[in-house]
Amino acid sequence: MTDSRKPRHILITGGAGFIGSNFAYHWCNNYPGDRVIVLDALTYAGNRQTIAPLEGKAHFKFVQGDICDRALIDQLLEAESIDTIAHLAAESHVDRSILGPGAFVQTNVVGTFTLLEAFRQRWQQQNQPADYRFLHVSTDEVYGSLEFDDPPFTETTPYTPNSPYSASKAGSDHLARAYYHTYGMPTLITNCSNNYGPYHFPEKLIPLMCINILLGKPLPVYGDGQNIRDWLYVKDHCRALDTVINKGTPGETYNVGGNNEVKNIDLVGLLCKLMDELASDLPVSPSEQLITFVKDRPGHDRRYAIDATKIKTELGWTPQVTVEQGLRLTVEWYLQNRDWWQPLLSPEYQQYYQEVYAKRSVPV
């Protein structure tokens, strides 16, 4: 940061969720002179406690609200003189999108459209300032599934979304892109691979496995466990989003990935080893005994992999945390932050768990 930098007034949507909260911390730490507003509906995945330490800061404000609420967004953009949106609010879990796709279309498509329209109105009313930015945060899942020997996804890989989640994210990406091409509005899109790290909601693979090991519960591996994901430590992702807001070219898409392709079964094995090493008094040890192969996810994508050459060569971003380092940090975090995750295993969560896993014949 240079002294001449003009402070931004940034609206972070979904800032009480996993990546959004990490990003809110990143932005507040790196740009203490900026005005930071977090807008979050606090769905099951949002947790105000996660960002409670930020709420004491004078330049920070939390607003509970829905990105589909146009009147609220208009009011916020004007009252806070917002010039930058980092849009991370979404329904984000593939298994939930299979159980109920409606919320995914509403938040991911209609919600993104609502934000784009509100930002367009403000940007046009302000005579289209060149330094305004709308960063739309998306996923590599829009590109579909790779075979084992296919090259990784690039920014020109055709969209082939396979789940209601990825289809709804694809729809929102197309809208963000169209607002640049049609109106010249300075939108940017990032498509990132699977994230992991602190504040990850228990339903996703890595926190679910960490927590089940600590509770001595079965570790449900879908199908044959040979599916591959390309894992990125969440703080590296936050640095990439910062880089794209500050250095990216409006209208462009940037793929973000860790170059860390791991088979699910190998990842679960690594987590078991780390827990055996770092945790004391595990209910079942060695914890690998808990691994249980279960019925596959419908339409389960086989492999995701990102080619992140463009963001590296054009903007100078590279990941700094290896998967070995990041998994160790993450296991340590879940061991040291039981107060954060234990309350999330609520009756509602248990009901969801029952619904997804009982039908896969996992003892729940």
DSSP-derived secondary structure letter, 15: T
Spell out, one character per residue from 93 to 112, where the chain touches ligand TYD: x when CB under 6 A holds, - when not.
Answer: -x------------------
Q: Which of 197, 220, 257, 258 binds ligand TYD (CB under 6 A)?
A: 220
- Residue for token digits 């971003």? 317
Single residue of 26, 120, 217, 229 touching ligand TYD by CB under 6 A: 229
- What is the C-alpha R_g of the chain? 20
Among residues 40, 141, 173, 301, which one is catalytic? 141
306 in contact with ligand TYD (CB under 6 A) = no
- Is 141 one of the catalytic residues? yes
List of residues 6+ apart from 364 with CB closer than 8 A: 350, 353, 354, 357, 358
Could you say which of 83, 140, 173, 242 is catalytic? 140
Binds 14, which of ligand TYD, ligand NAD, none (CB < 5 to 8 A, cut-off by type)? ligand NAD
Of 165, 199, 353, 357, the catalytic one is: 165
- If the CB atoms of residues 153 and 290 are measured against ligand NAD, the closer one turns out to be 153
Q: Rounded to whole angstroms, how far apart are CA atoms 85 and 134?
A: 5
Q: Per rule CB under 6 A, is residue 303 in the interface with ligand TYD?
A: no
From the list ligand TYD, ligand NAD, none, pick the one residue 27 interacts with, judged by a Cβ distance below 5 to 8 Å according to partner type.
none
Q: Which is nearer to ligand TYD, 52 or 358 (CB)?
A: 358
Structure tokens at 145: 């599934």
Q: Looking at 154-162, 179-187, 200-208, 316-324, which segment touches ligand TYD (CB under 6 A)?
A: 200-208
Pick between residue 227 and residue 243 the one whose CB is nearest to ligand TYD. Answer: 227
Task: Examine the residue annotation and report whether 165 is marked as an active-site residue of this protein.
Answer: yes
CA 103 – CA 110 distance, rounded (Å): 10
Q: Which of 290, 237, 285 is nearest to 268 (CA)?
A: 290
Q: How far apart are CA 81 and CA 75, in angstroms?
A: 10
What is the C-alpha to C-alpha distance for residues 24 and 61, in angstroms, rounded to an integer? 11
Name every residue whose Cβ is closer than 8 Å to that of residue 263 and which is 6 or more positions away in sequence.
225, 226, 227, 228
Residues labelled catalytic:
140-141, 165
Which residues contribute to the site for ligand TYD (CB under 6 A)?
Answer: 94, 194, 204-205, 208, 220-222, 227, 229, 264, 297
